[in-house]
Amino acid sequence: MKHIAIIALMTLSLCFFSTKTYAQLHTTPECGNNFSLKWSTFPENSNEYGWHPGTLSNTFTNVDNSDVDVTVSFTGETNSFGFWAGNTPKIGTKSSYLYKGIDLLTNGFNSTGITCTITFSKPVYALSFDIHHINVYNVNGDKYTITGKNTKGDTIYLNLPLLHHLHILLIVQQV
């Protein structure tokens, strides 16, 4: 079993965005299992999870019967979160009308922005997620810094292109 610890940090300096988080494995690891965390307003299945509007931290236990808990928390200038068809962060479709994600709207920052930290209770082989409604071509452009850590504690940095939609896949293997 690989002992890999990934902590994904997103430093956000944005007006609004939405994330769709499906922890999908794009190459089959030795264990051969895929698990998903899907956002839902009214969760019904073992891989669907809700988010109470305005809540800054949630822990989702045994995601999709994976025996892995996922904690998502927002820190920093969270007092700048605004109302976007409900208090944000919240589950919604405001930035991507095709499916639900975590909707965020901010009313500007002083300096530090908002950090979203995603922590896994056990090592994961790979993680993918999408970020939508990225404002890059105006003074309110969004800024993302996404990092992970391997078992040695080394930080992994991603180079992100200037796009309106990002699909991010992290695959970390023990060397």
| Residue 33 reports pLDDT greater than 50 | yes
The residue-averaged pLDDT of 6-21 equals 34
Task: Provide the pLDDT confidence category of residue 122 given band limits of 50, 70 and 90.
Answer: confident
Instruction: Quote the pLDDT of residue 159.
Output: 64
- Cα–Cα distance measured from residue 152 to residue 173, given in angstroms and rounded to the nearest whole number: 11
Instruction: Quote the pLDDT of residue 31.
Output: 57
Q: 68 to each of 64, 102, 150, how far by Cα in Å?
A: 9, 20, 17
The residue-averaged pLDDT of 95-110 equals 78
Does residue 72 or residue 161 have the better pLDDT? 72
Instruction: Quote the pLDDT of residue 57.
Output: 94
- Cα–Cα distance measured from residue 152 to residue 70, given in angstroms and rounded to the nearest whole number: 21
**Model pTM?**
0.69
Does residue 71 or residue 144 have the better pLDDT? 71
The residue-averaged pLDDT of 30-48 equals 78
Residue ranges of domains in the chain: 7-171
- Cα–Cα distance measured from residue 32 to residue 74, given in angstroms and rounded to the nearest whole number: 32
Does residue 56 or residue 1 have the better pLDDT? 56
Task: Provide the pLDDT confidence category of residue 59 given band limits of 50, 70 and 90.
Answer: very high
